[in-house]
Amino acid sequence: MRRMGRMGVPLALALALASCTRKPEVPAAAAPTAAPPGELRLSEVPDFIKVGPVELATEASATSATGKVGFDEERVSRISSPVSGRVVELLAHPGDRVKRGQGLLVIASPDAQAAVADHVATQSDLAVARRNLERVKRLYAEQAVPGKDVQQAEADATKAAAALARAASRLEVLGIDEAAPEARGARFVLRAPIEGVVVERPAFPGMEVRPDAGTPLVTVADLTRLWVLADVYERDLGRVAKGQKATVRVTSSPARSWEGTVTHVGELVDPATRTVKLRIEVDNSKLELKPEMFARVLVRGTAAATPSLSVPSSAVLSDGDSSAVVLALGGGRFQKRTIEAGAEQDGRIRVLAGLASGDQVVIDGALYLKTAIEGP
């Protein structure tokens, strides 16, 4: 008995030591349990999972769109040559501010010289015809010529007047002042039809030009007012209308904004992008906006809009074709829900369909849960 007691003590110590060195088993905090298809159940929700409510916005809503800054097409002139010839002198350069009627470049043109010569010739022909008419009328009064001679002289004078009017109209169309010194030679001066800035001038000395070329030699634009052409989605068409106010921002000045007015909503939907062109007029009197700048537009509603739902942008998961959120059902249960997402504003995305007011969605960790729901 005493011997067995001495052997039992080392055995007891060994068992106690083994129990102290064995690692305790820790259950997985977020181990999923069985759940219906499309749903996930967690025995314990990780701390990085954050949930927030779907909110109902009752104030006047806004519609966002993207686009670019462009010329006001009512204040831009792309000037081609109305005559054939060769560019011999440049009078204005890109960036120059020009006034209406100011010379832009000089073209050596036989056409222009011929137009001036034709006008001079028809002036002379009309003067001769009128003197002849007066002479014939005087002879007819003295019964020295028959009446048909008077009729013929009147017809000749009428034809001469018509020819002069035609020649004068041609000079007017070409912008040629017959009294100008260069009008007597072959030098044709291409002039600015509007006041503005020379934004493009592809013409160069020696360049051959023709009226039918169709390529502008100089582009002059008034940049104090510009258009922003934005693409608004078809589903948002009911939220935009002519006369609404809009805020424009550009990438180069993210902290700045420009106020504008919607002046036109397009009639056609682009079949590829399902968008409609929106035209917004913006004051640019400080010349800070430049044509072709990328722009973001926010069109504000003019009255209280229909209440709409929204969620934080971090809650929406998009794969390019569809959008979804992870719905928190409570008790560690989560479900993926496909939604129809609208425009984003101030960090929140409008929800057009798929959710109800008061629903709880995952705003942090949604991608983690979506992956767990869909499985490998």
pLDDT digits (tens, 9 = 90+) for 228-285: 999 998 878 888 889 999 999 998 888 889 999 999 999 999 999 889 999 999 999 9
- Count how many domains the chain has: 3
Query: Does residue 335 share a domain with residue 202?
Result: no
Residue partners of 343: CB distance under 8 A and separation at least 6: 62, 63, 64, 65, 233, 236, 349, 350
Q: Which domain holds residue 83?
A: 76-109+186-221
When mean pLDDT is compared across 42-46, 63-67, 99-103, the lowest value belongs to 42-46
Residue 354 has pLDDT above 70, yes or no: yes
Q: What pLDDT sits at residue 1?
A: 41
Look at residues 276, 300, 324 and tell me which one is the last residue of a structural domain: 300
Query: Does residue 320 share a domain with residue 207?
Result: no
Is residue 120 in some structural domain? Answer: no
Threshold 0.75, pTM exceeds: no
Is residue 8 in some structural domain? Answer: no
Instruction: Note whether 147 and 120 are within 8 A (CB).
Output: no
Burial category of 321 from C-beta neighbours within 10 Å (exposed 0-12, middle 13-18, buried 19 and up): exposed
Is residue 319 in some structural domain? Answer: yes
Query: Does residue 210 share a domain with residue 99?
Result: yes
Comparing CA positions, the residue from 39, 69, 348, 59 lying closest to residue 226 is 69
Is residue 346 in some structural domain? Answer: yes
Comparing CA positions, the residue from 110, 127, 210 lying closest to residue 163 is 127
Q: What is the CATH number of the domain that holds 347?
A: 2.40.420.20
- Output the 3-class SS for 74-119: CCEEEECCCCCEEEEEECCCCCCEECCCCEEEEEECHHHHHHHHHH
Residue 95 has pLDDT above 50, yes or no: yes
Query: Does residue 202 share a domain with residue 318?
Result: no
Furthest C-alpha separation in the chain: 178
- Distances from the Cα of 93 to the Cαs of 4, 56, 69, 235, in angstroms? 114, 56, 23, 46
Query: Does residue 333 share a domain with residue 282?
Result: no
Query: Does residue 213 share a domain with residue 196?
Result: yes
Is residue 129 in some structural domain? Answer: no
Is residue 21 in some structural domain? Answer: no
Q: What pLDDT sits at residue 302?
A: 53
Instruction: Note whether 223 and 204 are within 8 A (CB).
Output: no
Query: Does residue 334 share a domain with residue 227?
Result: no
Query: Does residue 105 share a domain with residue 191?
Result: yes
Residue 64 has pLDDT above 70, yes or no: yes
Is residue 83 in some structural domain? Answer: yes
Query: Does residue 351 share a domain with residue 264?
Result: no
Look at residues 284, 300, 316 and tell me which one is the last residue of a structural domain: 300
Look at residues 277, 300, 323 and tell me which one is the last residue of a structural domain: 300
Query: Does residue 68 share a domain with residue 81?
Result: no
Q: What is the CATH number of the domain that holds 230?
A: 2.40.30.170
User: What is the C-alpha separation between 163 and 168, in angstroms, rounded?
Assistant: 9
Measured from the Cβ of residue 314, the count of other Cβ atoms closer than 10 Å reads: 18
Is residue 146 in some structural domain? Answer: no
Query: Does residue 80 share a domain with residue 70?
Result: no
Query: Does residue 89 share a domain with residue 201?
Result: yes
When mean pLDDT is compared across 33-37, 111-115, 153-157, 372-376, the lowest value belongs to 33-37
Q: Hey, which residues does 65 pair with through a beta bridge? A: 297
